[in-house]
């Protein structure tokens, strides 16, 4: 996984609450055996009309926002389906950071596991940032994960909180599976004891025939 | 001994080791797979040269993408064949029990897992699907995960988790005549909001819950995630044990007795402390329906749609306006009488035998309105057989419903069961997001009874007026 330490880029304002993963990537675009190439489907139903033409009012179709690497949105971002395709689509499009007042849990975890930084900022700050971006398009902003600090396009800086384990994972590009595999012996002894304590978990009854 | 909650007891049972950084490695007792969110996980496993650590704790079903048409095959749904066949190969290679397309026990993952006794009280259960919390109704700690986590569970049978906060919602009193578990959960989501339980392990308790059937409890826990809950649990009781006894993969005989004596202890201790507590009265719940594009956009069926001009907060006003515009509904007017184009009875929320019986009670002897396309999709082959034995299929077919093969169908619209652009559907499913049932589709969530009434009337209608319940 590509580590993320400090990110400077264009931020696109998406002033909508409860942006769900169906909106991020529609279900007909998850017919895939691969993780890559999903960026073209990102927000497809909002970006494109039924005839395939671009919806001019949608933020990612507007000038410099096409090259956004940061997305700023309303509360409860990523709610709904657990599809990790939503995060793969964001990453493939080039989004490395999403800023919102809050995130749905599964989406948040999927971000951490794919090198996308989810930043929770208080409502008031997100509203302020959205307003700034609507006025000052194409200004870059900066997110510094190492320092847990964000610099708005107006130059003001704000601290943000993130659990240390999530910060570490993103800074170092850690693979969670490797972390768990390092505990193999402990897992094995847990399972051995569990077979005795809760045999019904393990001795699943066989089908009748 | 410190008093512990139901969730904390299951948490303690599954702790393998605490990791640096505040997460805990927990053991996963049941991992359930389906065709859409797993191929990249198997692929990752293959590339890393890893195997499935505990295939005996892993089960699979093909449910999302599968066609629900009679005589269906791998290629009935355009573009689906590659995923269905890759899944068949992956489960076969790794020795995973798979309830494949036309298996006699195939069905929606969250319907078959309890129905076959695969999930039991006190277990940890994960699946790459956000509605995995459904089976928390058995007293299991169940939650939805992404594909990277699916790969980790395949490889290690563990996940690293930070201990969530715990919330308890107590629902006392009893549901009134013509009011169903679906109405209760929609009501609760309306009360606390779609992010009302975000980050919490939610426990549901109270008289209304303890007197409810297992099937009703599944409907409640199914939609806990729509309030943001990481997992939704109900303490196992005699109704739970009675439901599980004799199910195919559940323990039998002496081992069942041994298990039950352990399961009886998985309840919240007196004096256990919750991080948040709420209580509601079931008798104040009436039939509910959603008017907007989030499950929290819900109201009693005879209430008027909110009027944005009366909302002071600008952001809230814009959100309501956006939903009203999308749905094409009239602010300040009730939905009753609004013409509908489609009715869907099915999904992991409401496709069990009691749901079909609830709808059939309204349908019996009546006809689906001419303008309406009505679909019933049983949650599993087992539910389908049971319904056919009871003659429910005849009730639906004679009324003009399509009687389909099991699958997720028009809830997720992954297959070809979709609502056309601009069309309006009363649906027993769990999400009314923009485009959820097909591009530009409009969804009103409701109980099977309310959906059935809409099918007959051709418009949003109050099922209590049918007097059939």
Chain B residue closest in CA terms to A114:
B148
Q: Look at chain B and count its residues.
A: 469
Distances (CA, A) of B201 to A90, A152, B133, B210, B276: 28, 35, 10, 19, 10
Pairing of strands A117-120, A97-100: parallel
We report the CATH number of the domain holding residue B223 as: 3.40.1060.10
Task: Check whether residue B35 and residue B154 sit in a common domain.
Answer: yes
Higher pLDDT pick, B405 / A138: B405
Give residue A145's pLDDT. 98
Mean pLDDT, range A65-86, rounded to an integer: 96
Which residues of chain B make contact with A47, given a CB cutoff of 8 A?
Answer: none
Task: Check whether residue B53 and residue B113 sit in a common domain.
Answer: yes
We report the CATH number of the domain holding residue B102 as: 3.30.499.10
What is the C-alpha to C-alpha distance for residues B56 and A186, in angstroms, rounded to an integer? 19
Q: Which two tokens stand for residue B88?
A: 């068949």
B419 CB burial (10 A radius; 0-12, 13-18, 19+): buried
Q: Are A130 and A72 in contact (CB under 8 A)?
A: yes
- pLDDT of B277 > 90? The answer is yes
Task: Check whether residue B72 and residue B146 sit in a common domain.
Answer: yes
Beta-ladder partners of A174:
none
Q: Are B185 and B219 in contact (CB under 8 A)?
A: yes
Give residue B20's pLDDT. 87
CATH superfamily, with its number, for domain A6-174: Aconitase, domain 4 (3.20.19.10)
Give residue A208's pLDDT. 43
Decide if B383 is inside a domain.
yes
Q: Which two tokens stand for residue B134?
A: 């459904």
B161-198 residues labelled b (16+ CB within 10 A) or e (exposed): beebebbbbbbeeebeebbbbbbbbbbbbbebbbbbbb
* Contacts of B171 by beta carbon, 8 Å cutoff, 6+ apart: B184, B188, B204, B205, B206, B207, B208, B209, B279, B280, B281, B282
Backbone angles phi, psi at B310, to 5 degrees: -95, 0
CB-closest option in A27, A180, A199 to B25: A180
Note the pLDDT tens digit of each residue in B76-117: 888 899 999 999 999 999 999 999 999 999 999 999 999 999
Note the pLDDT tens digit of each residue in B182-211: 999 999 999 999 999 999 999 999 999 999
CB-closest option in B22, B79, B155 to A181: B155
Task: Check whether residue B75 and residue B201 sit in a common domain.
Answer: no
Q: Which of A93, A29, A100 is nearest to A65 (CA)?
A: A93
What is the C-alpha to C-alpha distance for residues B306 and B321, in angstroms, rounded to an integer? 9
Beta-ladder partners of B445:
B427
Query: Helix A105-112 vs helix A164-172: angle between axes, to the nearest 10 degrees?
Result: 40
Task: Check whether residue B36 and residue B137 sit in a common domain.
Answer: yes
What is the C-alpha to C-alpha distance for residues A129 and A151, in angstroms, rounded to an integer? 10
Task: Check whether residue B80 and residue B184 sit in a common domain.
Answer: no
A80 vs B259: CB contact, 8 Å cut-off? Answer: no
- % helix, strand, coil for chain B, step of 5: 35, 20, 45
- In the DSSP assignment, the letter for residue A180 is H
Give residue A203's pLDDT. 80
Task: Check whether residue B151 and residue B177 sit in a common domain.
Answer: no
Task: Check whether residue B105 and residue B216 sit in a common domain.
Answer: no
Task: Check whether residue B353 and residue B454 sit in a common domain.
Answer: yes
Task: State what percent of residues in chain B have pLDDT above 70.
Answer: 99
Backbone angles phi, psi at B291, to 5 degrees: -110, -15
- pLDDT of A179 > 50? The answer is yes
What is the C-alpha to C-alpha distance for residues A171 and B441, in angstroms, rounded to an integer? 41
A201 vs B413: CB contact, 8 Å cut-off? Answer: no
A50 vs B421: CB contact, 8 Å cut-off? Answer: yes
Which residues of chain A make contact with B435, given a CB cutoff of 8 A?
Answer: 22-23, 26, 45
A190 CB burial (10 A radius; 0-12, 13-18, 19+): buried
What is the C-alpha to C-alpha distance for residues B30 and B126, in angstroms, rounded to an integer? 7
Alpha carbon B282 to chain centroid distance? 20
Beta-ladder partners of B126:
B31, B143
Give residue B78's pLDDT. 85
Task: Check whether residue B133 and residue B72 sit in a common domain.
Answer: yes
Decide if B293 is inside a domain.
no
Three-class secondary structure of residue A74 per DSSP: coil
A163 vs B43: CB contact, 8 Å cut-off? Answer: no
What is the C-alpha to C-alpha distance for residues B31 and B128, in angstroms, rounded to an integer? 9
Q: CA of A12, closest CA in chain B: separation in Å? A: 18
Mean pLDDT, range A144-163, rounded to an integer: 96
Q: Are A100 and A73 in contact (CB under 8 A)?
A: yes
B86-100 residues labelled b (16+ CB within 10 A) or e (exposed): bbbebbeebebbbbb
Give residues 138 to 197 of A whose Cβ lies within 8 Å of B.
163-165, 168, 176-177, 179-181, 183-184, 186-187, 190-191, 194
* Contacts of A160 by beta carbon, 8 Å cutoff, 6+ apart: A119, A120, A121, A148, A149, A150
Q: Which of B24, B53, B257, B248 is nearest to A199 (CA)?
A: B257
Give residue B1's pLDDT. 77
Q: Are B394 and B53 in contact (CB under 8 A)?
A: no
Give residue B206's pLDDT. 98
Chain A residue closest in CA terms to B42:
A33
Backbone angles phi, psi at A47, to 5 degrees: -80, -35
What is the C-alpha to C-alpha distance for residues B248 and A55, in angstroms, rounded to an integer? 53
Task: Check whether residue B231 and residue B111 sit in a common domain.
Answer: no
Chain B residue closest in CA terms to A167:
B21
B228 vs A205: CB contact, 8 Å cut-off? Answer: no
Residue of B39, B156, B292, B441 to mutate when probing chain A, most A C-beta within 10 A: B156
Note the pLDDT tens digit of each residue in B381-397: 999 999 999 999 999 99
Q: Which of B190, B115, B122 is nearest to B384 (CA)?
A: B115
Q: Are A16 and A74 in contact (CB under 8 A)?
A: yes
What is the C-alpha to C-alpha distance for residues A44 and B285, in angstroms, rounded to an integer? 38
Give residue A209's pLDDT. 38
Decide if B190 is inside a domain.
yes
Higher pLDDT pick, B467 / B181: B181
Q: Which two tokens stand for residue A12?
A: 């696109």
Q: CA of B20, closest CA in chain A: separation in Å? A: 8
Decide if B249 is inside a domain.
no
Decide if B129 is inside a domain.
yes
Cα-Cα-Cα-Cα dihedral sign, residues B345, B63, A27, B130: positive
B433 vs A80: CB contact, 8 Å cut-off? Answer: yes
CA torsion angle B229 B230 B235 B240 (round to 10): 100
Give residue A31's pLDDT. 87
Could you tell me the end-to-end alpha-carbon distance of chain A, in angstroms, rounded to an integer? 46
In this predicted complex, what is the ipTM?
0.93
Which residues of chain B make contact with A165, given a CB cutoff of 8 A?
Answer: 19-23, 162
Three-class secondary structure of residue B160 per DSSP: strand
Mean pLDDT, range B318-337, rounded to an integer: 97
Decide if B422 is inside a domain.
yes
Task: State what percent of residues in chain A have pLDDT above 70.
Answer: 97
Mean pLDDT, range B1-27, rounded to an integer: 95
Residue B299 parent element (H or E): strand B298-300
CA torsion angle B452 B434 B204 B34 (round to 10): 90
CB-closest option in B123, B155, B262 to A177: B155
Mean confidence (pLDDT) of chain A: 93
Give residue A206's pLDDT. 55
Note the pLDDT tens digit of each residue in B401-456: 999 999 999 999 988 999 999 999 999 999 999 999 999 999 999 999 999 999 99
Q: Are B131 and B348 in contact (CB under 8 A)?
A: yes
Mean pLDDT, range B155-167, rounded to an integer: 97
- Cβ–Cβ contact A17 with B under 8 A: yes
What is the C-alpha to C-alpha distance for residues A85 and A105, in angstroms, rounded to an integer? 15
Three-class secondary structure of residue A148 per DSSP: coil
Please report the DSSP string for B122-157 in residue order.
T-EEEESSGGGGGGGGGT-EEEE--HHHHHHHHHHS
Range of the domain at B74: 6-161
Number of domains in chain B: 3
Q: Are A60 and A43 in contact (CB under 8 A)?
A: yes
Alpha carbon A201 to chain centroid distance? 34
Mean confidence (pLDDT) of chain B: 97
Quickly count: other Cβ atoms within 10 Å of residue A140's Cβ.
14
Decide if B242 is inside a domain.
no
Give residues 42 to 81 of A whose Cβ lies within 8 Å of B.
45, 50, 74-76, 79-81
Distances (CA, A) of B55 to B85, B102, B156: 19, 22, 11
Task: Check whether residue B95 and residue B200 sit in a common domain.
Answer: no
Give residue A1's pLDDT. 80
Q: CA of A142, closest CA in chain B: separation in Å? A: 26
């Amino acid at each position: 996984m590509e580590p993320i330490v400090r990110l400077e880029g264009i931020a696109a304002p998406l002033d909508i609450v409860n942006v769900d993963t169906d909106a991020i990537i529609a279900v007909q675009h998850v017919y895939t055996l691969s993780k890559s190439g999903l960026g073209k489907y990102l927000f497809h139903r909002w970006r494109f009309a039924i005839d395939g033409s671009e919806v001019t009012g949608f933020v990612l179709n507007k000038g410099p926002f096409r090259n956004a690497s940061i997305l700023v949105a309303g509360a409860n971002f990523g709610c709904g389906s657990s599809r990790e395709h939503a995060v793969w689509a964001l990453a493939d499009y080039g989004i490395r950071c999403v800023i919102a007042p809050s995130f749905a849990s599964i989406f948040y975890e999927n971000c951490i596991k794919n090198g996308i930084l989810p930043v929770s900022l208080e409502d008031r700050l997100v509203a302020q940032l959205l307003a700034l971006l609507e006025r000052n398009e194409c200004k870059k902003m900066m997110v510094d994960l190492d320092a847990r600090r964000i610099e708005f396009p107006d130059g003001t800086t704000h601290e943000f909180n993130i659990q240390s384990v999530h910060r570490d994972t993103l800074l170092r590009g850690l693979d969670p599976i490797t972390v768990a595999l390092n505990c193999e012996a402990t897992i094995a002894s847990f399972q051995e004891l569990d077979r005795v304590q809760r045999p019904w978990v393990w001795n699943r009854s066989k089908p009748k025939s | 001994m410190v008093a512990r909650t139901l969730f904390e007891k299951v948490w303690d049972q599954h702790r393998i080791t605490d990791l640096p950084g505040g997460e805990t490695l927990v053991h996963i007792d049941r991992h359930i797979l389906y065709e859409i969110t797993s191929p990249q996980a198997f692929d990752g496993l293959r590339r890393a040269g890893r195997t499935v650590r505990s295939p005996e704790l892993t089960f699979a079903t093909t449910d999302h993408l599968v066609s629900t048409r009679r005589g269906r095959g791998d290629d009935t749904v355009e573009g689906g064949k590659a995923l269905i066949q890759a899944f068949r190969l992956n489960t076969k290679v790794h020795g995973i029990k798979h309830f494949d397309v036309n298996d006699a026990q195939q069905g929606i993952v969250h319907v078959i897992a309890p129905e076959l006794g695969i999930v039991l009280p006190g277990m940890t259960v994960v699946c790459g699907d956000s509605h995995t919390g459904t089976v928390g109704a058995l007293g299991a700690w169940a939650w939805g995960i992404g594909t990277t986590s699916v790969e980790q569970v395949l490889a290690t049978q563990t996940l690293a988790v930070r201990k969530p906060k715990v919330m308890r919602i107590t629902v006392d009193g009893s549901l009134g005549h013509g009011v169903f578990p679906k109405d209760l959960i929609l009501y609760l989501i309306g009360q606390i909001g779609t992010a009302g339980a975000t980050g919490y392990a939610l426990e549901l308790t109270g008289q209304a819950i303890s007197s409810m059937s297992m099937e009703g409890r599944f409907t409640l826990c199914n939609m806990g995630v729509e309030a943001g809950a990481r997992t939704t649990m109900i303490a196992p009781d005699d109704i739970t044990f009675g439901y599980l006894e004799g199910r195919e993969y559940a323990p039998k005989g002496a081992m069942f007795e041994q298990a039950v004596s352990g399961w009886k202890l998985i309840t919240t201790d007196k004096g256990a402390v919750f991080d948040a507590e709420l209580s509601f009265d079931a008798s104040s719940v009436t039939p509910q329906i959603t008017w907007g594009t989030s499950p929290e956009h819900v109201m009693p069926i005879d209430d008027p749609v909110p009027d944005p001009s009366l909302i002071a907060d600008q952001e809230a006003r814009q959100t309501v306006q956006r939903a009203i515009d999308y749905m094409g509904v009239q602010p300040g007017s009730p939905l009753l009488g609004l013409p509908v184009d489609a009715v869907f009875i099915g999904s992991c929320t409401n496709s069990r035998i009691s749901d079909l019986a609830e709808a059939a009670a309204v349908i019996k002897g009546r006809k689906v309105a001419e303008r309406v396309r009505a679909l019933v999709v049983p949650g599993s082959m087992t539910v389908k057989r049971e319904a056919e034995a009871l003659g429910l299929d005849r009730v639906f077919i004679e009324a003009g419903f399509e009687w389909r093969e099991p699958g997720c169908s028009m809830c997720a619209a992954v297959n070809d069961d979709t609502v056309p652009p601009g069309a309006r559907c009363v649906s027993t499913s769990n999400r009314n997001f923009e485009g959820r049932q097909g591009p530009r589709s409009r969804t009103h969530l409701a109980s099977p009874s309310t959906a059935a009434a809409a099918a007959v009337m051709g418009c949003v209608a109050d099922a209590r007026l049918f007097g059939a319940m």
